[in-house]
Amino acid sequence: MIRHFLKVRDLTKEEFKFLLNRSIELKSGVDRLKCPLIGKSIGMIFEKPSTRTRISFEVAIYQLGAHPIYMSPRDLQLSRGETIKDTAQVLSRYLDGIVIRTFSHSTVEEFSSFSQIPVINALTDNHHPCQAVADIMTILEKKGDLEKILIAYVGDGNNVANSLIEASALVGAKIHIATPEGLEPLKECIDWAKNHTQVKLFNDPYEAVTNADVVYTDVWISMGEEGNQDKKNKFKGFQINSSLLKKAKNDAIVMHCLPAHRGEEITDDVIDGPQSVVLDQAENRLHTEKAILEFLLGM
């Protein structure tokens, strides 16, 4: 059966745990000479700019023995009006898998509905599931027992927040979300997660971060929202700085999915400080994406 990975909750708890363990195995180098996807070709449709997602996926595909084919919007007839249905059906005849980074989540949903090969969501406006797998892997490496962890996310209730909520629920980690009023994560993600773990919403970041094991933030203004000064003004007091970090546990780790707008949502001394794990977090995108590709295409 064809499996897609469009949002975190497409996985069961057991599958998510398997991906975490497999990612750690792959990072150790235990299977570095194996190429389970040799002879396969994987398309990468990127309608949004990317550094970590594009490079990590290209390297992951190559290291698994497959061939990555990068396609920007101008490379495809989609830019001239060809339907998603026709594109998905044709590419299914050529490729073994598709990685899509786009704006509307409905685009990947429609694409997957017509695709005869696995589709992986590499980011939409609503979800960033591959990032969330790497986030939880990083927390597992640094903190161990995930069911004893409190994650505090401070900032915009965006795609990263939505996927982090779902990922936390699958591993039983408690999560606090602090956003300005009206910028909360998707209600459907919160409601689903509350069936599996403790999810609390705050408008006060200091209250949300109190005794947290993990302090996480992301940019206040996402791609496509540049110039929205009214929205940016709502984040006064939501910066991750040394004052806010003192409310968390002394050994709390600081996370950011990058790119960071230094001096806005996070200060230099925090993102470059001893509690920051952002580079490990970025590296783990490679290992988790290898596990995801192997899981979906090697079945």
**Which residues are identified as catalytic?**
101, 128, 131, 218, 257, 285
Q: In what order do the strands lie in the sheet with 150-154?
A: 199-202, 174-178, 150-154, 214-217, 253-256
Please give the torsion angle defined by the CA atoms of residues 288, 99, 16 and 32, in that order, rounded to the nearest 10 degrees.
-30
Q: 237: phi > 0 → left, psi -120 to 50 → alpha, else beta; which?
A: left
Residue 231's CB is within 10 A of a number of other CB atoms, namely: 16
| Alpha-carbon span 192 to 169, nearest angstrom | 8
* CA distance readout (Å), 278 to 257, 261, 283: 7, 13, 9
The token pair at 139 is 């927390």
